[in-house]
Amino acid sequence: MSKDVSFTVKFFPYQLYPEASKEGEDKYEWYKKTKYNDSQDQMDKYITLMTTYGNQAGIDFDFHGQVANTLDAHRLIQHFQEHLGPDTADKLVNSLYTQYFTQRAHPSASETLLGATDAAGIDSATAEAFVADQFEGLPETNLLMREQASNGVDSVPYVVVEGKRRDFTLVGAKEVAEYLKTLEAVAKEAS
């Protein structure tokens, strides 16, 4: 890949389950009921598959904890991405994912959000004030979610790589090689 080409990640909000309650419910039972029609056998297969994928990437998935509405997490990411930039947003997302997928953290609890802001190096007083104000950044986040829906986004991940001549869209989980191939194509067109 050309050394003269750089990529900037920008996150946009999208909720897979906007109807989820803010309080949440047991993640394991929710997956089993919602995704696998209460089949323990199907749930066991899912856990085996995801554990294998996770181990290959150095992730120790924990399938317990809470599944809940993620609006406040999206609001947090959007606000600090806008005010502190893409590197801060990336640190927030990495922390939120680590907490949710490996540490049983509630996806939008104040403790989870503040843990992410700490990991991203955001001033604690600034972070606490933002998290406490449940309306700051809410209209902007809701607008961005409506834009994503109107753009046809209906699953995650939904990755758009803007190229010089054309854009590339990758929908759903892909192998690393497929993302790399797309980035290489964009780099080639840029040179």
User: What is the model's pLDDT at position 1?
Assistant: 54
Task: Specify the 3-state DSSP secondary structure of 122.
Answer: coil
146-173 residues labelled b (16+ CB within 10 A) or e (exposed): eebeeeebeeeebeebebeeeebeeeee
Structure-block tokens of residue 177: 């090689």
List, in sequence order, every residue forming a beta bridge with 27; answer none if it has no partner.
Answer: none
Position 2 scores a pLDDT of 55
Identify the segments of the chain with pLDDT beneath 50. none
Give the phi and the psi of residue 88 in degrees, each rounded to 5.
-65, -45
What pLDDT was estimated at residue 174?
A: 87
The owner of tokens 């909000």 is: 13
Mean pLDDT of the chain: 94
- SS3 (DSSP) at 14: coil
What's the whole-model pTM score?
A: 0.92
Confidence at residue 4, expressed as pLDDT on a 0 to 100 scale: 78
Query: Tens digits of per-residue pLDDT, 126-169?
Result: 999 999 999 999 999 999 999 999 999 998 899 999 988 899 99
